[in-house]
Amino acid sequence: LERKDITRNQILQEICELLYDSISYYDWVGYYFADHSTDLLHLGPFIGEPTEHTVIPFGKGICGQVALSNETFVVDDVTAQSNYIACSLTVKSEIVVPIFVQGINIGQIDIDSHTLNAFTNEDKSFLEALNKEVAKLY
Ligand code: SME
């Protein structure tokens, strides 16, 4: 890793911790980054229960679908989704918001909640704005 990469991951880790600590219904917060040469997402900084899903193929689960759709995906009730990867049985709802750098979908922030219907349009707008700031690190 170059010095620049270490700093960026530390910033992303701090963002995860800040969101997790300050918003009560954010119960897992993490970043996945896209490798466009293999069509795989790789888990980056996160906070919450460790997950087995550190690598997710494009198209699989909510995260994999966002890698292809380039659109924020709000899931009010994860049990209603057929293309969903369960990380924990306590998760009830989820939001995945893509990060764009020069128009390329380079990854996403993924947030799980133990509350049904946890994520509103306010969360969507806030996280999209946050991702625009994160994109400036690239
Ligand atoms: N639920 C996600 C997988 C990642 S875990 O939530 C950390 C999905 O369906 O893509």
Cβ of residue 134 lying under 6 Å from some atom of ligand 1: no
What pLDDT, in 10s, does the model give residues 74-118? 999 999 999 999 989 999 999 999 999 999 999 999 999 999 999
Distance 102 CA to ligand 1 centre (A): 25
pLDDT band per the 50, 70, 90 thresholds, residue 57: very high
Task: Give the side-chain half-sphere CA count within 13 A for 55.
Answer: 4
CB distance 66 to 107 below 8 Å: no
Q: Is 82:59 a contact under the CB 8 Å cutoff?
A: no
pTM: 0.95
pLDDT of residue 5: 67
Pocket test for ligand 1, best of 43, 91, 94 (most atoms within 8 A of CB): 94
Q: How far is the CA of 116 from the centre of ligand 1 (A)?
A: 16
Ligand 1 near 42 CB (within 6 A): no
Check residue 18 and give its pLDDT.
98
Q: What is the pLDDT of residues 4-40, one digit of tens each?
A: 666 899 999 999 999 999 999 999 999 999 999 999 9
Atom of ligand 1 nearest to the CA of 28: 7
Average pLDDT on 122-136 reads 98
Q: Which domains does the chain have, with CATH numbers?
A: 3-135 (3.30.450.40)
**Residue 3 pLDDT greater than 90, yes or no:** no
